[in-house]
């Protein structure tokens, strides 16, 4: 009745090099950095004494969003020193997510595992180093592996669970959450785009009007991906803040 | 008719999918067709159709992603964020200063209003005291003038009463004399004799007093 051919998964996710060693994912990652840096450079050139507009307004909103909605909610005033790191993390992830719905690009860089796993490893190093810095090597691992208030007999169960959850699983959960959400959104957009195309170009004319259904879904999911891209960046960043705060102040 | 197409790369199954065939051959419905993907991925534009597990991270993406993030973080930490934050803090400090100045001006204005209201109430109290004193003075003055006028009226009334009594007494004497004269004359005419003057006077006086008493 109609030809619907779902392309191989490699065709959807893997991109040929634009030049040797540099593909679309690398382009998006570099663009995310260039856009962030440009935004803040342009913002810094504006007169700070006047009410912020345009790029300065956007830059200040992003700073205040990180400070008020992430740091103050999870780390308190002591955590404001982490603003540059968390701001970089949020902007980079968000700008890597957004190209999933930008025509021509149509690929979130975080739907490939490289960037999420790198960021998760960075976060893993950061929160463990913070814990060791604040509590000392043995103090940190003692607070992680032997949480206070637990009956000693339960340490047989709790210690391995805490070791696996805090030391092993956290970076993977961070990376896989971001990667899987963005990959799923990307695949959904591909599926509904291909289904719309197949129905609109079906040889049986009766099927052509039905193409409006997947096409409508495609538009809805495109809007939804705007929210998902923001939400995943926010979740990754706030979890990072929670992990750092937990490592710095285990009593909280 | 439909065919199942399996794509192989290096002897491994890469994908399996149904395709619609233009052929009218009905002798082999649902025939399994084996195709081998070319290593250059010619069918997908810029995308590669073959390669390693698409989930596993690729080194070039890892390198560019890591490099980009590290550059962004370093620039953000050392240049971008401090410059922006410095301006934000300066503006917020200015706004806070303006707010504090406005609060101080408002407090000053409130103090001025309180001082004005206090002075106003003092002036009002003084004015009320003075008005009361003036009213009291005026009242006393009025009372004294009223008393003085009343005493003057009483004196004049007493004087007038005395004058009226004197005039009345004088009139009564003249009337009494006239009545005596008339009574004496009438008696002379009637009897041809002159009555006793003392008797006539006594009779007239007694008659007039009794008439006055009635």
Cβ-Cβ pairs closer than 8 A, A with B, add up to 161
According to the model, what pLDDT value does residue A1 have? 53
B155/B27 Cα distance (integer angstroms): 158
Report ipTM (2 d.p.).
0.92
According to the model, what pLDDT value does residue A59 have? 93
Kindly report the nearest CA distance between residue B88 and chain A, in angstroms.
Answer: 7
B15: pLDDT confidence band, cut at 50, 70 and 90? low
Interchain contact, B68 vs A48, CB within 8 Å:
no
A25 lies within 8 A of chain B by CB: yes
B48: pLDDT confidence band, cut at 50, 70 and 90? low
What does the pLDDT look like over A43-63, one tens digit per residue?
988 888 788 888 899 999 999
A109 lies within 8 A of chain B by CB: yes
Please state the pTM of the whole predicted model. 0.69
Residue A89, CA distances (Å) to A28, A82, A236, A249, B5 in order:
15, 11, 8, 22, 43
A128/A130 Cα distance (integer angstroms): 5
A68 lies within 8 A of chain B by CB: no
* Mean pLDDT within A214-221: 94
**Residue range(s) defining the domain that contains residue A187:** 9-248
Structural domain contains residue A141: yes
B81 lies within 8 A of chain A by CB: yes
Residues of chain A found within 8 Å of residue B20, distances taken between Cβ atoms: 2-3
Give yes or no for a contact between B123 and B116, defined as CB atoms under 8 angstroms apart: no
Structural domain contains residue A146: yes
Of B135 and B57, more confident: B135
Strands of B32-36's sheet, edge to edge? B12-20, B2-9, B32-36
- In chain B, the N- to C-terminal Cα span, in Å, equals 160
Kindly report the nearest CA distance between residue A180 and chain B, in angstroms.
Answer: 10
According to the model, what pLDDT value does residue B49 have? 65
Closest chain B residue by Cα to residue A113: B57
Q: What is the mean pLDDT of chain A?
A: 90
According to the model, what pLDDT value does residue A3 have? 64
B31/B3 Cα distance (integer angstroms): 5
Q: What is the mean pLDDT of chain B?
A: 80
Task: Indicate the number of domains in chain A.
Answer: 1
* Mean pLDDT within B113-118: 95
Structural domain contains residue A2: no
Give yes or no for a contact between A74 and A245, defined as CB atoms under 8 angstroms apart: yes
A19 lies within 8 A of chain B by CB: no
B23: pLDDT confidence band, cut at 50, 70 and 90? very low
B75: pLDDT confidence band, cut at 50, 70 and 90? very high
Residues of chain A found within 8 Å of residue B88, distances taken between Cβ atoms: 48, 60, 63
A144: pLDDT confidence band, cut at 50, 70 and 90? confident
Structural domain contains residue A20: yes
Of A40, A89, A96, the CB nearest to B84: A40
Beta bridge partners, B6, equal B16, B34
B14 lies within 8 A of chain A by CB: yes
Kindly report the nearest CA distance between residue A80 and chain B, in angstroms.
Answer: 12
Kindly report the nearest CA distance between residue A50 and chain B, in angstroms.
Answer: 8
E-strand ranges in chain B read 2-9, 12-20, 32-36
Residue A97 exposed, middle or buried by CB count within 10 Å (0-12, 13-18, 19+): buried
B31/B88 Cα distance (integer angstroms): 69
A88/A68 Cα distance (integer angstroms): 16
Beta bridge partners, B36, equal B8
Structural domain contains residue A21: yes
What does the pLDDT look like over A146-203, one tens digit per residue?
888 888 888 899 999 999 988 899 999 999 999 999 999 999 999 999 999 888 888 8
Backbone phi and psi for residue A46, each to the nearest 5 degrees, phi listed first: -75, 155
Interchain contact, B76 vs A17, CB within 8 Å:
no
Residue ranges of domains in chain B: 1-37, 81-179
B17: pLDDT confidence band, cut at 50, 70 and 90? low
State the Cα torsion A210-A211-A214-A219 to the nearest 10°: -130
* Mean pLDDT within A6-25: 82
């Amino acid at each position: 009745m109609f030809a619907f051919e779902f392309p191989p998964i490699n065709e959807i996710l893997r991109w040929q090099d634009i030049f040797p060693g540099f593909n679309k994912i690398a382009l998006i990652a570099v663009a995310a950095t260039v856009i962030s840096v440009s935004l803040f450079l342009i913002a810094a050139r504006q007169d700070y004494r006047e009410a912020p507009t345009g790029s300065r307004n956007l830059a200040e909103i992003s700073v205040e969003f990180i400070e008020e909605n992430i740091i103050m909610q999870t780390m308190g005033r002591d955590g404001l020193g982490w603003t540059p790191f968390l701001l970089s993390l949020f902007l980079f992830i968000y700008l890597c997510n957004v190209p999933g719905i930008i025509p021509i690009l149509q690929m979130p860089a975080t739907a490939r595992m490289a960037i999420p796993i790198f960021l998760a490893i960075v976060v893993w190093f950061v929160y463990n180093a913070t814990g060791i810095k604040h509590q000392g090597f043995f103090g940190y691992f003692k607070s992680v592996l032997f949480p206070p208030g637990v009956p000693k007999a339960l340490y047989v169960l709790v210690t391995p669970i805490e070791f696996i959850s805090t030391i092993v699983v956290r970076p993977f959960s961070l990376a896989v959450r971001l990667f899987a959400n963005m990959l799923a959104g990307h695949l959904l957009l591909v599926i509904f785009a291909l289904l719309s195309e197949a129905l609109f170009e079906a040889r049986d004319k009766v099927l052509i009007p039905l193409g409006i259904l997947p096409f409508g879904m495609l538009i809805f999911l495109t809007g939804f991906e705007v929210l998902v891209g923001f939400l995943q960046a926010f979740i990754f960043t706030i979890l990072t803040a929670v992990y750092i705060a937990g490592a710095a102040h285990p009593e909280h | 008719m439909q065919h199942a197409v399996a794509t192989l790369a290096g002897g491994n199954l890469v994908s399996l999918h149904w395709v619609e065939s233009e052929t009218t051959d009905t002798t082999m419905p649902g025939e399994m067709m084996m195709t081998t993907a070319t290593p250059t991925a010619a069918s997908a534009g810029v995308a590669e159709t073959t390669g390693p597990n698409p989930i596993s991270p690729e080194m070039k993406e890892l390198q560019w992603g890591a490099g980009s993030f590290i550059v962004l973080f370093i620039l953000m930490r050392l240049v971008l964020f401090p410059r922006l934050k410095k301006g934000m803090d300066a503006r917020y400090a200015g706004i806070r200063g303006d707010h504090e100045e406005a609060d101080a001006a408002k407090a000053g204005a409130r103090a001025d209003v309180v001082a004005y209201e206090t002075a106003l109430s003092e002036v009002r109290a003084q004015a009320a005291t003075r008005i009361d004193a003036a009213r009291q003075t005026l009242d006393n003055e009025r009372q004294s003038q009223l008393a003085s006028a009343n005493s003057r009226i009483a004196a004049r009334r007493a004087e007038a009463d005395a004058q009226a009594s004197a005039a009345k007494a004088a009139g009564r004497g003249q009337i009494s004399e006239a009545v005596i004269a008339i009574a004496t004359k009438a008696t002379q005419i009637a009897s041809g004799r002159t009555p006793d003057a003392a008797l006539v006077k006594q009779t007239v006086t007694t008659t007039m007093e009794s008439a006055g008493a009635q």
